[in-house]
């Protein structure tokens, strides 16, 4: 049984033992059981699971922060009498290799307002991205690589 499923099962048992199965008891049970799994490292798969979950939370938090910043930037440009839009397409060299890693990176870029993933090269080494603001292509590449790509590699490898 995977450590995640064990965590879900243990949190359900916690909620039943508390006498009421509700979101609050399930959430607290999930966190409590996660802490137990992190403490009991001999359980197969628990170490990998307990190290990945915080990274996944950090990736989600980073994405939400980028979503907020880019939404404000797009709104400001749309409402401005003199937009500062300078659209362009850049190629981003990829360190991610698997289909899951490339797909997750492409989806996160596309979900962020102002950017759109267009294509992946045939050799899967370059991701083509359209952005509303390409004043410095190298800086945009660096933002993608140090932002989403680095966090995806930390999570999935």
Q: Return the structure tokens found at 59.
A: 């990736």
Q: Do 21 and 95 share a domain, yes or no?
A: no
Give the chain's domain count: 2
Q: Do 63 and 140 share a domain, yes or no?
A: yes
Q: Do 25 and 79 share a domain, yes or no?
A: no
Would you call 117 helix, strand, or coil by DSSP?
Answer: strand
CA-CA distance, 86 to 134, in Å (whole number)?
A: 6
- Prediction pTM value: 0.79
Q: Do 125 and 60 share a domain, yes or no?
A: yes
**Maximum separation of any 2 CA atoms in the chain, in Å:** 61
Residue 45 has pLDDT above 80, yes or no: no
Q: Do 39 and 96 share a domain, yes or no?
A: no
pLDDT in tens, 98-141: 999 999 999 999 999 999 999 999 999 999 999 999 999 999 99
Q: Do 131 and 67 share a domain, yes or no?
A: yes
Q: Are strands 115-120 and 88-93 parallel, antiparallel or unpaired?
A: unpaired
Q: Domain span at residue 73? A: 48-156
Q: Do 28 and 84 share a domain, yes or no?
A: no
């Amino acid at each position: 049984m995977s450590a995640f499923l064990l965590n879900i099962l243990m949190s359900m048992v916690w909620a039943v033992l508390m006498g009421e199965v509700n979101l609050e008891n399930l959430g607290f049970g999930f966190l409590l059981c996660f802490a137990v799994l992190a403490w009991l490292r001999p359980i197969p798969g628990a170490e990998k699971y307990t190290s990945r979950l915080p990274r996944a939370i950090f990736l989600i938090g980073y994405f939400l922060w980028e979503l907020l910043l880019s939404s404000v930037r797009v709104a400001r440009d749309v409402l401005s009498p003199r937009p500062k839009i300078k659209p362009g397409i850049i190629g981003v060299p990829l360190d991610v290799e698997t289909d899951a890693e490339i797909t997750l990176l492409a989806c996160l870029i596309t979900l962020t307002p102002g950017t759109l993933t267009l294509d992946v090269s045939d050799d899967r080494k370059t991701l083509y991205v359209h952005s509303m603001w390409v004043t410095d292509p190298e800086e945009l590449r660096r933002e993608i690589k140090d932002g989403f790509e680095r966090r995806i590699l930390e999570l999935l490898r």
